[in-house]
Amino acid sequence: MVFSSLTFLFLFLPLVLLFYYILPSIRAKNILLLIASLVFYAWGEPVYVFLMVATALINWAFGLLMERGRKGLWCTLAVVFDLGCLIVFKYTGFLVENLNALCALSLPVPQIALPIGISFYTFQILSYVVDVKRGSVAVQRSFARFLLYVTLFPQLIAGPIVRYSDVEAELSDRTVSAQGVFYGLYRFCVGLGKKVLLADYAGSAASKMLDGTLAAQTTLGMWFGVLMFMFEIYFDFSGYSDMAIGMGRMFGFKYPENFRLPYTAKSITDFWRRWHISLSTFFRDYVYIPLGGNRRHVYLNLAVVWTLTGLWHGASWNFVLWGVYFLVLLVIERLLRKPIEHIPMVLRHAGTLLLILIGWNIFYFTDTSRLLESFRVLFGASGVGFTNHQTWILMLNSLPLAVLCAVCCTPLPRILGASLSVLCATDGHIGFRQYLFSIGMYVISIALLALSVISLTGSSFNAFLYFRF
């Protein structure tokens, strides 16, 4: 089940919300959310739901053992177990394939299905056991509450990566306000609109340019295709995060922000402070700083982090190259920080976007031969030339969408909303003007929901991109 399905929108979520608001106690609400979350996951992963529950149970037990002493030992065993599970299910085939190629072997390559969301819930569990070992959070003695933390369906499948410390207090005591519910509904509808009205259509345009025979593609068409994928992955992933944050607020949880207008960044460093914030801060706090951070072996620490960042996204060499690519860019920025600061801001922003665009091309092609061919086309060394009539037709058909996506990547929508809010709070009529503003937000939410539903009824299933990571 996915958020952008009609079953979820008109059956699952309304029923869960209805019973959640009816139930009187936090204990009853937690039981409902736990059951709903397990049903949500089992809807698409009826077998691997047992793996997730077993993983939660084992780590909960490790937490209790750490409370009794020898924290270092039990934490190490927990980390080894969690990463071992992740490696087995996500990287076994990749490791065997490369072992065969490296050693001229013919070992059978196991075909292990990837459990949905395993990269996300594994990191969430790791944050718990490491923080218990550090003493920054208390041991959760209730397995039901710990399992709820691991399985909570709004952020279970594709993040944001919610640390136990983020929701520790809310697992046992939280309140739901009308203002929070309204904000949650609005945020959910914005995320749904991002996914259905922008990401899916941008993805369709990108596929037309990038999924065919690359030798028959033009240079201009290739660049435009990567640009549309750049829009697709942002609105797809940030749309999911918006929906997760919105649903969290409906149930009384406050999840951390995962995106802050990343395509407005003025440097690659700035970009990674804005993109997938929960992942970058996870690697910072649990890998980079423990290795020494900025105190010692800085570049080695960066190399470890960005190799792991690439591998986290998938068992394929293009993801490793993608991580190394950003590693090189970040090292260059560190070494040339002073000269770069003298470059005009507009040029820095344009250069950053170009480098990000090239990075998404590496990310898109999991087949290394197609990846190399894509770069030949991008830089005019292959393909059928710079452009042709078919490329222009495809680009013109997608141009209004590209312009809309570009505008929605900027602060302009938020600026307009903030301006309306300020306008509605002037002239001494705060209550009435704020009421008008609230009505406007309701209208926007309903419009986005209606347009999304119309689009969903006439389109085929299109899962979130980060489901496969």
Stretch 215-226: mean pLDDT: 94
Q: Kindly indicate the confidence band of residue 29, based on its pLDDT and cuts at 50, 70 and 90.
A: very high
Per-residue tokens: 379: 């830089």
Identify the pLDDT of residue 347. 95
d(CA 397, CA 268): 31
Identify the pLDDT of residue 434. 62
d(CA 117, CA 60): 19
Q: Which of the following is catalytic: 297, 313, 342, 429? A: 313
Stretch 144-153: mean pLDDT: 95
**313 catalytic residue (yes or no):** yes
Identify the pLDDT of residue 428. 47
Q: Which residue's structure tokens are 């909570």?
A: 152
Residue 98 has pLDDT above 70, yes or no: yes
Stretch 130-146: mean pLDDT: 94
* Digit-coded pLDDT (tens) for 341-395: 889 999 999 999 999 999 999 999 999 999 999 999 999 888 788 989 999 999 9
d(CA 147, CA 60): 8
Q: Kindly indicate the confidence band of residue 415, based on its pLDDT and cuts at 50, 70 and 90.
A: confident
Q: Kindly indicate the confidence band of residue 421, based on its pLDDT and cuts at 50, 70 and 90.
A: low
Identify the pLDDT of residue 467. 60
* Peptide bond before residue 290 is cis, with ω within 30 degrees of 0: no
Identity of the residue numbered 93: G
Residue 420 has pLDDT above 80, yes or no: no
Identify the pLDDT of residue 215. 87
Identify the pLDDT of residue 162. 93
- Please measure the distance between the N-terminal and C-terminal CA atoms of the chain and give it in whole angstroms: 17
Q: Please, which residues have CB within 8 angstroms of residue 23's CB and are 6 or more apart in sequence?
A: 29, 32
**Mean pLDDT value across the chain:** 90
Stretch 293-317: mean pLDDT: 93
d(CA 357, CA 230): 7
d(CA 363, CA 229): 10
Highest mean pLDDT among 94-98, 109-113, 144-148: 144-148
Per-residue tokens: 417: 């909303």
**pTM assigned to the model:** 0.92
- Find out whether 137 and 165 touch, Cβ atoms under 8 Å: yes
- Find out whether 144 and 171 touch, Cβ atoms under 8 Å: no
Identify the pLDDT of residue 439. 72
Which whole-number Å values give the CA distances from 410 to 44, 66, 204, 272, 418, in the listed order? 35, 46, 22, 16, 14
* Digit-coded pLDDT (tens) for 41-83: 998 778 899 999 999 999 999 999 999 989 999 999 999 999 9
